[in-house]
């Protein structure tokens, strides 16, 4: 008989010791163990794993992810309990990556202008979201990286951001254009004046000086998107904050193609800049954007035409 709670504790400790954050997985696996307890089951079976993974029934997109979590845990348990069944790969459809929305310059300018109209009129809030969304758009940073920046991570004299312990536990440096440094310096001065008596270690702060929370940032983004016509009232899908990052990557690749640069050689540099753990994550953009595929096809055509 296996004590699943103790086994889960050891498994999570091992994964985190290897550098994985495992925040969402911790929550999901704790829920799975509770599910097993309610079923009075002490051994993981494929049937029980599938039953749990397909909850709730109307969220198909998360099913494969949930089963993947259990599969890793089950492999760990199988070393000490040979009765454990490891759910096979491919029994549930994988999560499809959302098609990136490539913002136009006009749409980004409209969004940033709308941010400057956020109430209240004399508050820091409008400047915070104007600079936050602008920074993500011009650097391709993840939202979590931008709101996780501390003041010590922002060197505006050198024009460099230090992104620490990102999605995959890596750190990297992100250079800034002088105009971006100037905009961030202006924001920092406003922030310090606004929060003179309640300094925060965070670079981007909420109105009372605390850190920005993901859910509130998304709510502001949805509001601004509706105001400028990117989303209709009540839409549950549409352009996302993360699409700023997609736009940065796609525009960079398109620029290289049009300048005749060897994209194959440059891809590892873009992959490192974006904080990808594997260059294949950057290759995904080549197939995700029809315009990029067209540029690649044109280059291939020119190579064939140049052959004797």
Residues with a known catalytic role: 142, 167, 242, 245, 276, 285
- Reported as type and span, the H/E element at residue 221 is helix 214-227
Q: What whole-number distance in Å separates Cα of residue 234 and Cα of residue 269? A: 40
What tokens were used for 67? Answer: 């089963």
Q: What distance in Å separates the CA atoms of residue 117 and residue 86, rounded to the nearest whole number? A: 54
Give dist(CA 95, CA 62) in Å, integer: 7
Q: In what order do the strands lie in the sheet with 172-175?
A: 154-155, 160-163, 172-175
Which residue matches tokens 């109430």? 119
What is the rounded distance in angstroms from the CA atom of residue 296 to the CA atom of residue 254?
A: 9
CA distances from 219 to 125, 222, 234 (A): 13, 5, 13
3-class SS at 205? Answer: strand
249 with 270: CB under 8 angstroms?
yes
């Amino acid at each position: 008989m296996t004590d699943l709670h103790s086994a889960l504790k050891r498994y999570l400790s091992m994964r985190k010791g290897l550098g994985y954050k495992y925040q969402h997985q911790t929550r999901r696996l704790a829920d799975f163990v509770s599910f097993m307890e309610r079923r009075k089951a002490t051994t993981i079976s494929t049937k029980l794993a599938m039953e749990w993974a397909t909850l709730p029934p109307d969220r198909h997109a998360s099913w494969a992810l949930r089963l993947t979590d259990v599969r890793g845990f089950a492999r760990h348990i199988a070393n000490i309990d040979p009765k454990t069944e490891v759910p096979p790969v491919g029994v549930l459809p994988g999560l499809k990556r959302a098609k990136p929305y490539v913002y136009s310059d006009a749409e980004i300018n409209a969004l940033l202008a709308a941010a400057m109209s956020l109430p209240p009129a004399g508050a820091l809030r409008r400047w915070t979201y104007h600079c936050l969304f602008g920074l993500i758009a011009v650097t391709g940073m993840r939202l979590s990286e931008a709101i996780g920046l501390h003041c010590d991570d922002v060197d505006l004299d050198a024009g460099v951001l230090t992104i620490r312990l990102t999605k995959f536990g890596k750190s990297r440096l992100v250079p800034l254009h002088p105009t971006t440094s100037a905009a961030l310096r202006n924001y920092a001065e406003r922030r310090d004046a606004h929060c003179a008596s309640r300094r925060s270690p965070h670079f981007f702060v909420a109105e009372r000086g605390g850190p920005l929370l993901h859910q509130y940032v998304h709510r502001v983004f949805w509001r601004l998107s509706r105001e400028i016509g990117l989303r209709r009232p009540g839409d549950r899908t549409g352009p996302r904050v993360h699409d700023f990052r997609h736009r940065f990557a796609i525009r960079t690749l398109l620029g290289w193609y049009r300048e005749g640069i060897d994209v194959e050689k440059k891809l590892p540099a873009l992959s490192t800049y974006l904080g990808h753990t594997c260059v294949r994550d950057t290759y995904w953009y080549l197939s995700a954007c029809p315009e990029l595929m067209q540029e690649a096809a044109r280059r291939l055509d020119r190579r064939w035409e140049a052959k004797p």
